[in-house]
Each structure stands twice: as C-alpha cells, then as structure tokens.
Amino acid sequence: MSGIVVYLPRRNGDVAGVPSGDPVTLRLGPGETARFGRGSATIPVELRLDDEAISRLAGEIRVTDDHWQLSNHSATQSYLVENPEGAGEYLRVPPRRAGAPIPFEFSRVVLPTRRNTTVAFQVFAPDHVYLDPDGMAGQWGSRTVTAYSLDETALYFLVLVALCEPRLRDESPVAVPTTPQIVERLRGHVACGRLKARAVSSHIDYLAEEKMRISAPPGHGSGGPRRNGKRETLVGIALRFGLVREEHLALLPPRAAPRVREREWARESGS
C-alpha cells in the first residue's frame, strides 16, 4: 500500500460559530500519521474540525503497510467510519479505541456535533494489496502487488466502463464520452440516480491520479483539453491492459433505443 489520501471538504461559513475555510488534502505514506480535532496553540492538528463538541485532539489516523488505522481519543463519543459505496456499511469506533483497522477503500469518518449536522472527512486508500495467484501453492517469497488495483464493484469503475464503452463497441475510434454523456449514460443505474457531473469529474480525477497514476499531457492547462487528455489516457490504459473488457459492459444500464434517445435529445435541446 503506497499510502492514503485524506480530504476535508470546505467548511461552511454560513453556520454560526463555524468559520469558512479552504478544503484540505493530505497524502500519507506507510508509517505516517495525521491528527484531527479542534486543535489549539499547544495542540497542533493536521485536520482542524471547527465544532465546540469536538475535542482539541479528537483522534489520529495512522497508515500501515496494507491498511490504515483510526484511533478515537474522545472519552465519551463514538465515531463512525462509513463506506459510501457499501449500501449503508459502516464501522463504529468506540471512545478510547486505539488503532482500529479500517478495511474500506473509500471511507467517510463522521464525528457527532450538538447541531443537526455532523462533521466529516474522507479517506481514500487506493492501493489495496492482493495475493499473487501463481505463488499461492509454492514458497512464500516477496509479495506481488497489483499494478492497477481496481474494485469492479465501485462507482469509479462504472465511470471507467462508461468511458471505454464506445471503443469496446467499435462505435468510435477516437471520441471519449464527455461528463454530461456519462451522467446520461449511467442515469438508469440503481446507484446513479443522483449522480452529478461534479461527482463524475471527481471519479475521473481519482482514477487518473490515484489508481493509474497518470499526469496531464504536457502543454495542457486547466480545463477541457487537460481533462480530455486524462480521459484519453485512462481509456488507453484500461483497454491495453484489459482492465475493462467486453464482459464489463453488462455492468452498465441497458441502452435506450435510438428513437428514444433522439426524442430525449430533442427535448433537452428545446426543439
């Protein structure tokens, strides 16, 4: 496991007593830690959570070789670790629990507050380790890790399949679907009824930066060309290495008939 990414979204400045702030992203490697809580001049924390119900030092994240651990420093409050893609799956980390191992690839750490909202941050653990099938019956040597560790049940994989679909179906040798086209293509999936363009873009960035570790093509700035370059590279890697294959198309919702699509496009364009 090469490490994890911790993301604290932008804080809402509209809530009384909660200052606004920029989002925070931390990258931690094996053996590294990050502390979270309200913090103070004498108790520094890497993730500052601004709520009076949260301890100055609420807890700690520690990265090991093959997973990450959560310690709860509160004497009274339990924390939840949710799997956003696990149909309600979660872990409860009780008060004073040290080093609770977290198995999820995507996690949302949720802390209770005295208001009607909670405080949360996200943890992404992109490089899970898998056994080498060829070596399971023989001598154990140095372990083999997967070059591209993809979870075929995750939403990001569904986005990748939608990106690759035209080329898998030989419909287009060049074009890669745009974000609105992916949103439309996945709309009929049970897990994608509320999927937004911003979420699709986030999944594409996650695939490119964490899963396949690619960078933007040289000479491309921010915006459309850069993102199109990412899409092209993602599709190229996925198809060349067989990460997405024809059988994965069954994960996508059924395609609308051509006449139905034409009526939908006409309605959306106002004609």
Say whether pLDDT at 4 is over 50.
yes
Answer whether 66's CB lies under 8 Å from 129's CB.
yes
Lowest mean pLDDT among 49-63, 108-122, 152-166, 237-251: 108-122
Section 23-46 average pLDDT? 92
Section 36-57 average pLDDT? 92
Where are the chain's structural domains? 4-124, 155-269
Say whether pLDDT at 173 is over 50.
yes
Give percent above pLDDT 90 in the chain.
41
Edge-first strand order for the sheet with 4-8 is: 24-28, 4-8, 119-124, 106-111, 79-82, 90-93
Q: Which residue has the tokens 């287009």?
A: 172
Answer whether 79's CB lies under 8 Å from 91's CB.
no
- What tokens were used for 18? 């909660």
Section 43-52 average pLDDT? 91
pLDDT tens digits, one per residue of 12-24: 543 333 445 678 8
Section 62-79 average pLDDT? 92
pLDDT, mean over the chain: 81
User: What is the per-residue pLDDT for 32?
Assistant: 94
Lowest mean pLDDT among 43-47, 86-90, 149-153, 200-204: 86-90
User: What is the per-residue pLDDT for 14?
Assistant: 39
- What tokens were used for 183? 């949103």
pLDDT tens digits, one per residue of 104-121: 888 999 998 877 678 999
Rounded CA separation 189/195 (Å): 10
Answer whether 141's CB lies under 8 Å from 231's CB.
no
Write down the CATH number for the domain with range 4-124: 2.60.200.20
User: What is the per-residue pLDDT for 219?
Assistant: 47
Instruction: Provide the residue type at 182 as one letter.
Output: I
Rounded CA separation 201/228 (Å): 11
Listed in sequence order, the residues at least 6 apart from 176 whose beta carbon sits closer than 8 Å to its beta carbon are 163, 166, 228, 231, 232, 235
CA distances from 28 to 17, 23, 34, 119 (A): 30, 16, 8, 21
The dihedrals phi and psi of 21, each to the nearest 5 degrees, come to -170, 160
pLDDT tens digits, one per residue of 132-141: 555 555 555 5
